[in-house]
Amino acid sequence: MITIDTESSKLIVGGEESKTYGLNTPEAFDILSKVWLRSGWDNKYVYTFSWMGRPIIQLPEDMFRIQELIYNIKPDVIIETGIAHGGSLIFYSSLCKAMGKGRVVGVDIEIRPHNRKAIEEHPLFSYITLVEGSSIDSKIVNQVKNHVKPTDTVMVLLDSNHTKSHVLNELNAYSPLVTKGSYIVAMDGIMEQVVGAPRTESDWDWNNPKQAAIEFVKSNLNFEIKEPDFVFNESQIVNRVTYWPSGYIKRIK
């Protein structure tokens, strides 16, 4: 049970053995953020946004944060598995154009004709390469590799099939392309936190990208799970509000 007392600026969590937090504390913000994320999931909040005309099914805060990382690293190639409506491809392409550097390779097992048409007709399509097929098919992986030059700085974003096994296979397939200091990001680890909510499965407490990321770094010492630092922060907040917990995997060697 959570009680919000705005008159006394307090957040009360629990029943008989409750804990009280000031609303102006990072702890209260963290608790309320988790409630907000769960309510947003239940209401399909992330299904309400677009970027330059294409639906983008992502939490806006996650996109703002990944923008910070992309601008810091300035990759030559951004590889994204999972295309859907193409909004995130357009988002990354717009950053490439603004930076004057970079291109995007999008991979999806099925690119629906109406989405392909909209992406190919978009003004930013010249920054995009579409690859259709399973992201863990060796032929598709090799096709993606052919779009990467030896000197390219590469970032990889995984947003296709979110089962643990699939994401782990993607991590193993695409991590060799990631440049030292850059990242491979396993998105949507929030699945672990929303088990029992609408549109969830009972095994999501373990069958999710977060668990794939944790298992991957245990056997791949060139990588570690590391949240990027906030580029700018004059607040008390140190944790992101995110759908991608433990998703940022940095190449350190």
> Does pLDDT of 15 surpass 90?
no
Alpha-helical regions (H) of the chain: 26-42, 60-73, 87-99, 113-120, 138-145, 164-174, 209-219
Query: What mean pLDDT is predicted for residues 144-158?
Result: 98
Q: What is the pLDDT of residue 16?
A: 78
Tell me: the pLDDT tens digits for 61-73?
A: 999 999 999 999 9
Q: What is the pLDDT of residue 32?
A: 97
- Dist CA 22 CA 29 (whole Å): 9
Residue with tokens 């995007």: 104
Tell me: the pLDDT tens digits for 192-203?
A: 999 999 999 999
Q: What is this structure's pTM?
A: 0.97
Question: Domains in the chain, ordered, with CATH?
Answer: 2-42 (no CATH), 48-251 (3.40.50.150)
Share of the chain above pLDDT 70, in %: 100
- Tokens at 110, concatenated: 């099925």
